Structure 1
Amino acid sequence: MNSKILILLGLTALAAAEGGEFYGYGHAHSYESSEAKYDFDWAVEDDYSNEFGHQESRDGDHTQGSYYNHLPDGRLQKVTYYVDGDSGYLAEVEYEGEAHYPSYESSSHESSSESHEAHSYTPPQRRYHS
């Protein structure tokens, strides 16, 4: 019985080594395709989460586009980019507005009788039942 399994595994390995035809891959065929050409644009405007969008167009090896996003600090980030052949991804990043951060020094904390020290976490005691 073990020899049948070894022979079957050997035939499987041999078939896999024969160009992958055993798994249905066959030989690679090259297909000519036309140059890529597309245009798209989308945006989201949602009072609950954020506003962001993206625009891109491509014609052959030349791609250009931009996207924007409202950052949590209140600024608008805009990225404009292009790719021309093998030149790589070249981007220019701009920010509009001024960053605003929440104040941790508020009058409600100052008038509170609670300590400003950080509360530490104490894990629960382990209990073993016999």
Structure 2
Amino acid sequence: MCERLVILLSLAVTLVVALPQNYGGGGGRGKQLQPLQQQNAPMNYDFQWEVNDQEYANFYGQKEVATNGRVEGSYHVLLPDNRLMKVTYYVDGDSGFVPTITYENNYSPSWGSPYYGRR
């Protein structure tokens, strides 16, 4: 009987310790959550990257911007036959990935210069 009581008390202490602590003061239980739409609002971002290596003839990169749920971007790849494949795309709501693919024949990269330019 005593062993069961010790186990039961140990479980109770573990549960109490595992409860979230209110370190902010002001009574966390009365705090209301933000509406679900605000919590899951899309995050805006802007990034780009590029590989530009003349020694190994590697020339490719990507640029992408997201604003209020709409994503627009592009990427480029220098193909072995010296064509530059460029893909511009967007995603807006439920549209999915919508690409436009173009090729530029006999492309000669400006080695050491960024394709997208400086920000």
| Aligned length in residues | 70
1:46 partnered with 2:53? yes
Q: Aligned residues: percent identity?
A: 43
- Listed as ranges, the matches of 1:43-122 within 5 Å are 43-49=50-56, 50-98=58-106
CA RMSD in angstroms comes to: 2.1
TM-score (norm 1): 0.49
Determine the C-alpha separation between the residues in 2 that align with 1:82 and 1:53. 16
Match of 2:16 in 1: none
1:69 Cα offset (Å): 0.6
Match of 1:107 in 2: none
Higher relative contact order (CA 8 A, sep 6+): 2
Determine the C-alpha separation between the residues in 1 that align with 2:78 and 2:96. 26
User: Radius of gyration: which is bigger?
Assistant: 1
Determine the C-alpha separation between the residues in 2 that align with 1:54 and 1:33. 26
